[in-house]
Amino acid sequence: MLRRLLLFAVLLALGGFEAQQSRGAMQLRTGRIACDHEGIGDDNQIYTITPTGARRQTLTTSRYFSSLDPAYSPDGKRIVFVRAYQHFHHDYRQYDLWTMHADGTHKGRLTKTPGVFELQPAWSPDGKQIVFAVAGQGI
């Protein structure tokens, strides 16, 4: 019962299948929710699940970086996300943008900017551009 109420609250907050939540922490599109969650080695990784919480699929794995802030493209075929690289244990020194197919295949780096952190990516409505926040030293 509690699980159903929690699921209803999430769906209500999202406003339906085409909704997106800021920071890319959770998105629902094409029937699957993309989210980041603490994975192996205390690093965040990206997963997808069905709206009922079933059939969890791991899209990213690593002990050397975290993956977070997933955002579906408007057509639901691709995901943009942030990959954070560790300098020392849990001391992240670089946050870059990457993309992948919605099933976790074909990962590719979009940015490589040491000392500049790209965060909170989102797609333009036509899917041709990506907007993101910037933080870091010297900004």
- Range of the structural domain that residue 88 is part of: 2-136
Q: Lowest-confidence range among 2-11, 24-33, 81-90?
A: 2-11
**pTM of the prediction?**
0.74
The whole-number pLDDT of residue 8 equals 33
Number of domain units in the chain = 1
Cα(73)–Cα(29) distance, rounded to whole angstroms?
Answer: 9
Instruction: Place 27 in a pLDDT band, splitting at 50, 70 and 90.
Output: low
Strands 116-123, 78-88: parallel, antiparallel or unpaired by DSSP?
unpaired
- The continuous run of DSSP H or E covering 26 comes out as strand 26-29
Model confidence pLDDT, tens digit, residues 82-119:
998 766 555 667 889 999 999 999 999 999 988 888 99
DSSP structural state of residue 51: T
Model confidence at 64: pLDDT above 90: no
Tell me what pLDDT residue 20 has.
Answer: 37
* Cα distances (Å, whole numbers) of residue 19 to 24, 27, 40, 89, 112: 11, 7, 28, 35, 29
Q: Is the dihedral of CA 123, 129, 130, 135 positive or negative?
A: negative
Percentage of the chain with pLDDT > 70?
Answer: 68
Q: Which domain CATH number covers 122?
A: 2.120.10.30
Average pLDDT over residues 29-48: 79
Looking at residue 9, its pLDDT comes to 32
Where does the pLDDT of residue 131 fall: very low under 50, low under 70, confident under 90, or very high at 90 and above?
A: very high
66 closest CA partner among 42, 32, 100, 98: 42
